[in-house]
């Protein structure tokens, strides 16, 4: 299975949009935004590769719908509890909603440290299961590795900004899946 040529305009347009959104993080290799770009790009490629469903639709749709929960609850918690600080200068590649001055440990963040990245993992594998193939499997694995690198970089950045409070928080939560991982 290969990416149909008819998807090329969508791939190029999507990539251009992701490059524009990630223009600052891409200038900062090693930042969480740098790796996140590649996770997003992989999900775009999987979406285009598996536009026509052919696999386990129950599993695929469940993962795709479940991806909305950590995304929405994580974003809401950051907006409500994070006390956005637009003057925060520790990383110029952060989006405004990422520039929090308070460590968020309530709501979904009381269960997992990276709800938005959990959403990316669910999207990644949800798109894989739409039409599983070896190329899609390789993309899904690569996308998962990018999400993991994103989370690890984000944790380094949070330790640098929040210090011991973040280290303590890490000991009481899982990275992506409550009580598991």
Q: List the CATH number of the domain containing 92.
A: 1.20.120
DSSP state of 82: S
Q: Domain of residue 111: give its range.
A: 5-172
Q: Is residue 181 part of a domain?
A: no
| pLDDT at position 76 | 93
Q: Is residue 58 part of a domain?
A: yes
Q: Is residue 80 part of a domain?
A: yes
Q: How many CB atoms lie within 10 A of CB 17?
A: 12
Do the Cβ atoms of 113 and 175 come closer than 8 Å?
Answer: yes
| pLDDT at position 99 | 80
Q: Is residue 179 part of a domain?
A: no
DSSP state of 52: S
DSSP state of 100: B
Q: Is residue 84 part of a domain?
A: yes
Q: Along the chain (181 residues), what's the average pLDDT of each consecutive run of 10 residues? A: 76 96 94 96 94 84 95 92 76 77 93 96 96 94 98 95 96 91 65
Helices (H), the chain: 8-21, 32-49, 57-66, 68-81, 115-130, 134-162, 164-172
Split into its structural domains, the chain has a count of 1
| pTM (predicted TM-score) | 0.90
| pLDDT at position 181 | 65
Q: Is residue 113 part of a domain?
A: yes
């Amino acid at each position: 299975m290969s990416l149909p040529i008819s998807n090329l305009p969508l791939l190029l347009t999507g990539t251009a949009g992701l490059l524009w959104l990630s223009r600052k993080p891409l200038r900062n290799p090693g930042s969480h935004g740098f790796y996140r770009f590649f996770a997003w790009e992989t999900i775009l490629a999987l979406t285009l590769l598996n536009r026509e469903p052919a696999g386990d639709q129950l599993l695929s749709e469940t993962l795709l719908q479940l991806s909305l929960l950590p995304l929405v609850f994580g974003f809401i918690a950051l907006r409500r509890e994070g006390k956005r600080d637009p003057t925060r200068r520790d990383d110029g590649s952060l989006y405004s909603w990422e520039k929090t001055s308070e460590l968020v440990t309530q709501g979904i963040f009381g269960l997992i440290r990276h709800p938005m990245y959990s959403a990316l993992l669910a999207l990644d594998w949800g798109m894989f299961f739409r039409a599983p193939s070896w190329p899609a499997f390789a993309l899904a694995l690569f996308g998962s590795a990018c999400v993991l690198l994103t989370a690890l970089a984000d944790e380094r950045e949070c330790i640098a900004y929040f210090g011991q409070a973040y280290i303590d928080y890490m000991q009481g939560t899982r990275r992506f899946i409550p009580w598991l991982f």
